[in-house]
Chains A and B, each alone.
Chain A
Amino acid sequence: MSGASGHALALQGVSRRYGEFVAVRDATVEVARGEFLTLLGPSGSGKTTILMMIAGFVEPSAGRILLDGRDITPLPPERRDFGMVFQGYALFPHMSVAENVAFPLRVRRMGRAERDAKVRAALDLVQLDRFAERRPSQLSGGQQQRVALARALVFDPALLLLDEPLSALDKKLRAELQEELKALHRRVGRTFINVTHDQEEALSLSDRIAILDHGRLVQVGSPEALYERPATRFVADFLGKSNFLEGDVVPDAGGVVLRRGATAVVASGAAPPGRAVLSLRPERIALVPEGGEADNLVEGRIAAWSYLGTGYALTVSTADLGDLRVHLPAWGAPFAPAEGVPVRLGWSRAAAVAVAEDVAA
């Protein structure tokens, strides 16, 4: 199993309508060999519909799905040769763990000796070799999830599709299995397509993320690119938290200036003159001591605060920019926060980026 064994998938203008309702609108995306792509979006954004169209359970109303350049749109699910981990795992309750994992090999009429060897290897891969004879109902959620993974990988599928694979697990186990899933992806070198609504999971697992909103693919890119340079207000808001500064902008040397009342905010990047929205991440705002310098400086008062362990989350009221969310690291915080305390906020020119308003659905 190496990186070369992965397959490339492409969606070309894929749509799915249910009567008047458009679940997926003109989705075009390419998944490279061996890539880990996550479809991320809130519920009802169409991410699961896209996965079901890739798997073959839902027929696209328009568009094509290509595997290594070959059109697979008309193929039924059983002829696509994709491994799939279902939400809630969908293990066969009447079969043992080993029989579950052997199922895809059995329906492919593989010989017994080879089948047994593959099942053992797959169970080894997910560290469940000791549980081969158990029933799924006798396993914990995390173990069931691993059985589902072994079953989806045992027949060397062209792609592995994951439908909210971790959503049924508690938070701690989820973090653990996230790392395992990432390590597994590196080990087997296959193309993984994952669906989730959990932005942290998407950020930590994926090579690239495709963000969906109301059936539309809004932005596709690496986790860093999406977080640092969100294209729209929705992306900035859904991936992490953000302050949005709205106002009229004019071009400036190497960027734009946004004016709100007596305050001018400078930001890098380009935006056409006129109405614009800047996204400013809370953790990019710092407290500036008396006499300190920053590209942008704003006075305000702490309106609310909370301690998060890793840091403080402040809400700071300002005269021209309204309430700003600010995250400060707790360690080495220069002050003890309290409501009403005056603070000076500063951020660099590069901290804020212009984002587009969302297209109405």
Chain B
Amino acid sequence: MTPKGRHALGWWGLILPAFLLMTAFYVAPILQVLAISVTEPELGLQNYERLATSESVQRVILTTLRIGLITTAISLLLGYVLAFRIALADPRAQRWWLLAVLVPLWISVLVRAFAWVTLLRRQGLVNQGLMAAGAIEEPLALVWNEFGIVVGMVHYMVPYAVLPMLSAMKEIDPRVLAAARGLGAGRVVSFLRVFLPLSMPGVIAAGVLVFIFSLGFYITPAILGGGKTLMAAEWIKLQILDLIRWGLGAMMATVLVVAILATLAVFSRLVNLRRLFGAGGH
């Protein structure tokens, strides 16, 4: 073996413990889930057959996709405005803005979900406020439906949308924007023709991140959906823990993993994922 080869072997040796840990506690269980999905209750693809035949399976998948897409779209919109504001702020203000964006991440997702329930339920602050103002007669159904789920999920996702977009916006050379103005483009045209296209990699990154998170989201939809609107993760829990239908739950979990990998594969062709998630630099 060449000295260089031996050197490389040393480096591989260093990551070996982490590799073994990942294999034992991460890859192996996933493979097991995959195995269960084709062996329970008996060997065969009958669990996957349900994708084509069972209306309830299809409904869960469609609901999950729909809520995921809506959440992603709203989170991107709100996050873009926020990131834009932060990117244009002076460095001191930028630190405060960032803190304000990150603080919600430190609060338990459970606490936040219940906070939304108290705000949105029939006797909650929002409904009572609207009724006191005379805007509505009857309380609106703001929670235990898709609306409630989307509100809670958007609240959770906005920071994840802001961060990749902000880092992309910070990479834009401010002189390029000045150049656009100097060459005759007004504020709106400069934004549409120069800033927006240059920030697109960040938007795509944020979109992928938020969408993937949304697909597997459990706590927020479980609490704010009130068991009436089922998304994939909660449905899996229902199958495995309540109905003891391991095969069906494992099948849906596998579908989820495949959907996430497919999303990543598609977008890795559009943007450099290594750069998005912070590895490798330029």
Which A residues have a C-beta under 8 Å from some C-beta of B?
A: 55-57, 76-78, 81-84, 86-88, 90-94, 103-104, 106-108, 151-152, 155, 161
If A86-B175, A86-B178, A90-B178 touch, whether A78 touches B198 (CB-CB below 8 Å) is: no
If A57-B178, A86-B178 touch, whether A94 touches B183 (CB-CB below 8 Å) is: no
When distances are taken between beta carbons in the complex, the residues of chain B under 8 Å from A155 are 183-184
Chain B count of residues within 8 A CB distance of the other chain: 18
When distances are taken between beta carbons in the complex, the residues of chain B under 8 Å from A83 are 182-183
* For the complex of A and B, 7 pairs with smallest distance between CB atoms: A90-B179, A90-B175, A104-B183, A84-B182, A107-B185, A77-B181, A90-B176
From A57, A78, A81, A152, residue with most partner B Cβ within 10 Å = A78
Is B102 located at the chain interface by the 8 A CB criterion?
no
A155 to B176, CA, bound (A): 18
- As a 0/1 sequence over residues 158 to 185 of chain B, the CB contacts with chain A under 8 angstroms (1 = contact) are 0000000000000001011011111111
Please tell me which one of the listed residues B181, B184, B190, B198 contacts residue A94 in the complex, with CB atoms under 8 A apart. Answer: B198
Is B101 located at the chain interface by the 8 A CB criterion?
no
From A77, A83, A86, A152, residue with most partner B Cβ within 10 Å = A77
Which B residues have a C-beta under 8 Å from some C-beta of A?
A: 173, 175-176, 178-186, 189-190, 193-194, 197-198
If A90-B173, A92-B194, A93-B198 touch, whether A152 touches B181 (CB-CB below 8 Å) is: no
Closest chain B CB from A103 CB (angstroms): 6
When distances are taken between beta carbons in the complex, the residues of chain A under 8 Å from B198 are 93-94
If A94-B198, A103-B193 touch, whether A87 touches B183 (CB-CB below 8 Å) is: no
When distances are taken between beta carbons in the complex, the residues of chain B under 8 Å from A93 are 176, 198
When distances are taken between beta carbons in the complex, the residues of chain B under 8 Å from A87 are 175
Residue of A nearest to B181 (CB): A77
When distances are taken between beta carbons in the complex, the residues of chain B under 8 Å from A88 are 173, 175
When distances are taken between beta carbons in the complex, the residues of chain A under 8 Å from B183 are 78, 83-84, 103-104, 107, 151-152, 155
A151 to B194, CA, bound (A): 15
A92 to B178, CA, bound (A): 11
Query: A107–B193 contact, CB under 8 A?
Result: yes
When distances are taken between beta carbons in the complex, the residues of chain A under 8 Å from B179 are 84, 86, 90-92
When distances are taken between beta carbons in the complex, the residues of chain A under 8 Å from B184 are 78, 81, 104, 107-108, 155
A88 to B175, CA, bound (A): 9
A56 to B179, CA, bound (A): 12
Query: B182–A77 contact, CB under 8 A?
Result: yes
19 A-B pairs (CB sep. < 8 Å):
A56-B182, A57-B181, A57-B182, A76-B186, A78-B181, A78-B185, A82-B182, A83-B182, A88-B173, A90-B175, A91-B176, A91-B179, A92-B194, A103-B180, A103-B185, A103-B193, A104-B183, A106-B193, A107-B193
Interface of B is mostly: helix
Residue of B nearest to A152 (CB): B183
A78 to B187, CA, bound (A): 9
Residue of A nearest to B182 (CB): A84
A95 to B183, CA, bound (A): 15
Residue of B nearest to A155 (CB): B184
When distances are taken between beta carbons in the complex, the residues of chain B under 8 Å from A81 are 184
When distances are taken between beta carbons in the complex, the residues of chain B under 8 Å from A91 are 176, 179
A151 to B185, CA, bound (A): 13
Q: Other than the known A77-B182, A83-B183, A92-B179, what 17 A-B pairs have Cβ atoms closer than 8 Å?
A: A55-B182, A57-B178, A76-B186, A78-B183, A78-B185, A84-B183, A86-B175, A87-B175, A90-B175, A90-B178, A91-B179, A94-B198, A104-B183, A104-B185, A106-B193, A107-B183, A155-B183
A108 to B198, CA, bound (A): 21
Residue of A nearest to B175 (CB): A90
Residue of A nearest to B200 (CB): A94
Residue of B nearest to A77 (CB): B181
A87 to B182, CA, bound (A): 13
A83 to B179, CA, bound (A): 9
Closest chain B CB from A293 CB (angstroms): 59
From A76, A81, A103, residue with most partner B Cβ within 10 Å = A103
From A56, A88, A104, residue with most partner B Cβ within 10 Å = A104
When distances are taken between beta carbons in the complex, the residues of chain A under 8 Å from B193 are 103, 106-107
When distances are taken between beta carbons in the complex, the residues of chain A under 8 Å from B180 are 92, 103
A151 to B181, CA, bound (A): 13
A76 to B194, CA, bound (A): 18
When distances are taken between beta carbons in the complex, the residues of chain B under 8 Å from A78 are 181-186, 190
Residue of A nearest to B178 (CB): A57
When distances are taken between beta carbons in the complex, the residues of chain A under 8 Å from B185 are 78, 103-104, 107
Residue of A nearest to B176 (CB): A90
A55 to B175, CA, bound (A): 13
A103 to B183, CA, bound (A): 8
A187 to B183, CA, bound (A): 21
Closest chain B CB from A176 CB (angstroms): 24
